[in-house]
Every structure is written in C-alpha cells, then in structure tokens.
Amino acid sequence: MRRAVPLAVAAAVLATTGCGGNNVTYSLAKTRACLRGQGVKVTAVPRSDFVASTATGGSFRARLDSGNFVTMVFGETDDDAGQIEKAYERFAFPNIRQGLADVLRTNHNAIMLWHEHPEPVDESTVLGCLK
C-alpha cells in the first residue's frame, strides 16, 4: 500500500505537466477574433512566406501598436507545428538562422514568428489570445 501512494502521486504529476495526453489545440479563428478585439490589426500573410501560406491549420499576420508584427501559423496538431517550426529553421537565410530562436516560438499547435524580438506586452497580448 505504501508504494501505491507515491506511484499515484507521480502519475498525477505527470498528467498535469503535459505528459500523457495534454491535447491543447488552438484555433486560428478564435485567436484572430481575440486579437482583433484587442485592437490588433490582422491581415493575410504575404505569399512570399511559403511556410505560413501552406500551413495545415492556416495563418495570419498580426501588427501590434508597438510596430512589431507576428506571423501566427497553426498546425492541425502539435506534430504539424513541430514540422512547421523545422521548415522555418530549414528555409531561414544563413544570416538569420543564428537569431531565429529569439523570434520563433511554438506553443502546442501554434507557431509565432516575430518580425523582431517582442516586447513583453506584445508577447503577453498574443499569448493571452491563443484560444
């Protein structure tokens, strides 16, 4: 009986930390609507962004009041998002690859590619609108 309690606690911790079935899927439509509700200007991604324009879950660009913008790209699954992130890394120009980690973020099935390092308020606005 003593061994069962620590195992049950360990299983509960794993379940709440993302292991074992944490299936968060963000919606492009809900995220876009939230950002618009915050006064963020939302537009289509340029066709030149091949990765975003072919994403399985869609994409859009959000321009914040600071002047910075973020390309929001959605995979249908977390695995799709991982592939999209790898595509950005693969297609980045050599002079950009080194700084890409500073502007490329993945959160479950959502990928955020910032134009420049985001200010905390901008990043908070975007993350708060992931729905």
pLDDT band at 62 (very low <50, low <70, confident <90, very high): very high
User: pLDDT per residue over 23-47, tens digit each?
Assistant: 899 999 999 999 999 999 999 999 9
Residues 6+ apart with CB under 8 A from 16: none
pLDDT at 24: 93
pLDDT at 116: 95
59-63/41-43 β-pairing: antiparallel
